[in-house]
Chain A
Amino acid sequence: MNMAKRVEAVDVTAYYGSFKAIDSITMTIEPKSVTALIGPSGCGKSTFLRSINRMHEVTPGAKVQGKLMIDAEDIYDPRVDVTAVRRAIGMVFQRPNPFPTMSIYDNVVAGLRLNGVRKKSTLDDAAESSLRAAHLWGEVSDRLKRPGGGLSGGQQQRLCIARAIAVEPQVLLMDEPCSALDPISTLAIEDLIGELKDRYTVVIVTHNMQQAARVSDRTAFFSIESTGDPGRLVEFDDTTKIFQNPGEKKTEDYITGRFG
């Protein structure tokens, strides 16, 4: 089953009120690959990520201009239902955010229930396969009815990944998914990302350049001229090229630690 889809941004510009956070981002993200978005704080990489599933506009006053095509369908077309977009594009956040009042099981199938799936066997199967795919099944299979909030941080984040992939999304967005985790949990998530790209288009924002180098096939480097300026895409290329032989001076300065 090939669910993964191509993401094509054309002149995507995003605002918070009158503040322009990113300016004319144009890039194509290939299906079944891992793309890392890197860059200094405030460069707009998270904003760009959140504009891929229209979560950017959740912030009051925020808006997006330009086109964002998921397999040739513009998700910012006025006729497009925003909830349908978000159902098709999964997201994992910086801090693990399982629903605190729900059990582990209910957390995993929350998205399916929102899609109207009620059949117990379907939900059970999806819960098991998603938890297995998120490498969490072995740790929680005997306590699915326990609250998701009782797990460790790394387990909670894997629970959130399971929740995101339970609905079989076409694209999986990850916003610094390891920044709140310890090194061992981080490694577990990174291994997981490597497997997820067999089925999904994965886009990951990270502050950690080693992580970008380890997990991604392609890397996009975002930057800003100075505080208050919009973030721009400086360079987008194969990860090996970005880290070994970047085409732009700014990219080289950043990855060698000379700024940012």
Chain B
Amino acid sequence: MSESPMPTKVGPDPTVHSGPTLGGGAALPRAGRGLERLFRWFSTGAGVLVLVVIVAIAAFLITQAIPALRANQANFFTSTKWLPNDVAHPRFGIAALAYGTVLSAAIALVIAVPVALGIALFLSHYAPRRIATGLGFVIDLLAAVPSVIFGLWGRDYLSGPVTDLSGWLHRYLGFIPLFGSGGPYGNSILLGSIVLAIMVLPITTALCRDVFVQTPKANEEAALALGATRWEMIRTAVLPYGRPGIVAAVMLGLGRALGETIALAMTLGATFGVSIDLIQVGGNSIAANIANGFGEANATGRGALIASGLLLFAITLIVNVAARAIIFRRREFVGGQS
């Protein structure tokens, strides 16, 4: 804090000849004009930088991918083979990887979203304040666990119980194609998805809780005064009000699940196949395949991996645009109230 010179300049200052004085403080020199301009340039620059980085990433991916895509002897979009390191006949396709990426992320959300909504509602509307604060802290802590730890834990600890679960699912629900495999079980889409679900839980829960807490008291009381039970109040006031926020939370979770690399590299079976079966050993994702394959890849192999990265980039972009569109569509109903 510097001492302001303002009070001494309130009256006419004989040392400053700044032309006719237009009443009040119009003729007073304003401190901080330069700072103002500097800050504007700084914030504009920061905004532009984001765009530059995104364009640079896209340009990098495209230029690196093109030579490999030219050399590819299979259809990049439909082939499930991944043999880019074959010097004589490099052939690779994204189908199995993209399928595994989307499938594992989708299963993860199916598991995580109901749990996240439940925890968030418990924290915002059911738990006593002290428990809510403590539990909220633990959930946030879960978000701080590095993904490699989740990967290790999933591979070395969770794979046993999931193997048992797979056997159980097959025995009782084997008529559903999802659980059709008779074994062996272990590193599977199911295991990867469960680990992913735990990883997306914190961010989804935290966002949903923040949205639920913001429900206007007036709306909650309106529902209660109509004779709603607590759950009915949540259904009539809290959930509809929070819907755009829930969608955003789910999409952010989906973004995390799609891009998750190391935990999936450690828990998926790293095979190249397209199967609806969740419990058989197998499964792969774009990001996990890049992590697994980059070390041993030759020039074409690296280009192929980068091409797959480009597709992942496109998928996450589409997911985000879709999320924005959904949120935007509901805006009239939420923004309407003063």
> Which residues does A use to contact B, with CB under 8 Å?
53, 55, 58, 60, 83-88, 90-91, 93, 95, 97-102, 110-111, 114-115, 147-150, 153, 160, 163-164, 167
Would you give the shortest CB distance from B15 to chain A, in whole angstroms? 54
Whether B226 and A100, one on each chain, are in contact in the complex, defined by CB atoms closer than 8 angstroms, is no
Q: How far is the CA of A32 from the CA of B93 in the complex (A)?
A: 78
User: Residue of B at shortest CB range from A102?
Assistant: B240
A/B interface sample: 13 pairs, CB < 8 A: A53-B225, A58-B221, A60-B129, A86-B226, A90-B225, A93-B222, A95-B218, A97-B216, A99-B237, A100-B219, A100-B336, A101-B243, A101-B330
Residues of B within 8 A of A53 (CB): 225
Query: Bound state CA distance, A101 and B129, in angstroms?
Result: 28
Give chain B's interface secondary structure class: helix
**Interface contact A110-B236, CB-CB below 8 Å:** yes
Q: Which of B225, B330, B333, B336 has the most CB of A within 10 A?
A: B225
Within 8 A of A (CB), among B138-176: none
Task: Output the residue of B221, B227, B240, B335 with the most chain A CB within 10 A.
Answer: B227
B338 partner residues in chain A, CB cutoff 8 A: 149, 153
Residues in A whose Cβ lies below 8 Å from that of B336:
100, 147-150
B227 touches A114 (CB 8 A): yes
In chain B between 206 and 255, which residues have their CB closer than 8 angstroms to a CB of chain A? 216, 218-219, 221-229, 232, 236-237, 240-241, 243
Given contacts A99-B219, A99-B236, are A149 and B225 in contact (CB under 8 A)? no
* Binary contact readout B312-338 vs A (1 if CB under 8 angstroms, 0 otherwise): 000000000000000000101111111
CB neighbours (8 Å) of A102 from chain B are 240, 333
Q: Distance (Å) between the CB of B13 and the closest chain A CB?
A: 48
Known contacts being A110-B236, A114-B236, is A98 close to B337, with CB within 8 Å? yes
Q: Is the CB of B240 within 8 A of A101?
A: yes
The one of B232, B240, B332 in contact with A99, judged by C-beta atoms closer than 8 angstroms, is B240
Q: Which 6 A-B pairs have the closest CB atoms?
A: A149-B336, A87-B227, A101-B240, A149-B337, A97-B218, A91-B225
Query: A101 contacts which of B218, B221, B228, B241 (Cβ < 8 Å)?
Result: B241
Decide if A97 touches B236 in the complex (CB within 8 Å). Answer: no
A97–B218 alpha-carbon span in the complex (Å):
6
Assess the B334–A114 pair: CB atoms within 8 A: no
Q: Is the CB of A93 within 8 A of B218?
A: yes
Task: Give chain A residues whose Cβ lies under 8 Å from the Cβ of B227.
Answer: 83-88, 111, 114-115, 167
Q: How far is the CB of B270 from chain A (nearest CB, A)?
A: 45
Task: Please tell me which one of the listed residues A55, A83, A148, A167 contacts residue B221 in the complex, with CB atoms under 8 A apart.
Answer: A55
On whether the beta carbons of A55 and B243 are closer than 8 Å, the reply is no
**Contact (Cβ within 8 A) A97 B219:** yes
Indicate if the CB atoms of B225 and A86 lie closer than 8 Å. yes
Contact of A114 among B216, B228, B330 (CB under 8 A): B228
CB nearest to A94 among chain B residues: B218
Task: Name 7 extra pairs, CB < 8 A, besides A93-B225, A99-B237, A101-B240.
Answer: A95-B218, A98-B222, A99-B219, A99-B222, A101-B334, A115-B227, A149-B335
Least CB separation from A115: chain B residue: B227
CA distance A90 to B334 in the complex (A): 25
Tell whether A167 pairs with B218 under 8 Å between CB atoms, given A100-B334, A100-B337, A110-B236: no
Contacts of B241 in A (CB 8 A): 100-101
Complex contacts, A101 vs chain B, CB 8 Å: 240-241, 243, 330, 333-334
Q: How far is the CA of A101 from the CA of B228 in the complex (A)?
A: 17
A163→B224 CA distance, assembly (Å): 13
Contacts of A100 in B (CB 8 A): 216, 219, 241, 333-334, 336-337
Q: Which residues of chain A are near B228, meaning CB under 8 Å? A: 83, 86, 114
Distance from B336 Cβ to chain A, minimum over Cβ atoms (Å): 3
Return the contact of B333 from the options A88, A149, A160 (Cβ within 8 A). Answer: A149
With A110-B236, A149-B333, A149-B337 as known contacts, state yes or no: A58 contacts B218, CB within 8 Å.
no
A201 CB → nearest B CB, Å: 16
Q: Which residues of B contact A93 (CB under 8 A)?
A: 218, 221-222, 225
CB distance from B327 to the nearest CB of A (A): 13
The answer for the CA separation of A98 and B240 in the assembled complex, in Å, is 13
B22 smallest CB distance to A (angstroms): 39
How close is B128's CB to chain A, nearest CB, in angstroms?
Answer: 9
B218, B229, B335: most-surrounded residue (chain A CB, <10 A): B218
**Chain B contacts for A85, CB-based, 8 A:** 227
Question: Which residues of the partner chain B approach A147 to less than 8 Å between Cβ atoms?
Answer: 332-333, 336
Given contacts A99-B240, A101-B243, contact A83 B334 (CB under 8 A): no
A149 to B330, CA, bound (A): 13
Chain B residue at minimum C-beta to C-beta distance from A90: B225
CA of A110 to CA of B232, assembled, Å:
11
Q: Whose C-beta in chain A lies nearest to the C-beta of B228?
A: A114
Residues of chain B within 8 A of A99, CB atoms compared: 219, 222-223, 236-237, 240
Closest-by-CB residue of A relative to B216 is A97
The smallest C-beta distance from B237 to any residue of chain A, in angstroms, reads 6
- The residue of chain A having its C-beta at the shortest distance from the C-beta of B232 within the complex is A114
| Residue contact A110 to B333, C-beta cutoff 8 Å | no
